[in-house]
Amino acid sequence: MGSDEPICPSCGQPVETVVRRHKTPGAWVPTWVPGPCGNPDCDRAPGREPADSPRPEHPGSTAPAPEAEPG
């Protein structure tokens, strides 16, 4: 009926499977998870911000420029 190939939840395009690992007591265990979406128009494509998530603000990025001292 279905395919074992993972699909992107945002655009529905098939994605590759990548191997990640997690630590269990005494061993690293591989897990196979869906990889990044290869569709450049997709919200979940690498290098693109998802439309529904806010951008993280970096402290200091909005700090005013230092004023020159009179003299």
Other C-beta atoms within 10 Å of 27: how many? 8
Tokens of 8: 């992107």
Greater pLDDT, 15 or 66: 15
Integer-rounded Cα radius of gyration of the chain: 21
Question: Is residue 6 a contact partner of residue 17, using CB atoms and an 8 Å limit?
Answer: yes
Question: Is residue 17 a contact partner of residue 3, using CB atoms and an 8 Å limit?
Answer: no
Mean of all residue pLDDT scores within the chain: 74
Is a pLDDT exceeding 90 seen at residue 28? yes
- Confidence class of residue 66 from pLDDT cuts 50, 70 and 90? low
Q: What is the pLDDT of residue 1?
A: 45
Classify 58 as helix, strand or coil. Answer: coil
- pLDDT per position as a tens digit, 48-64: 655 555 555 555 555 55
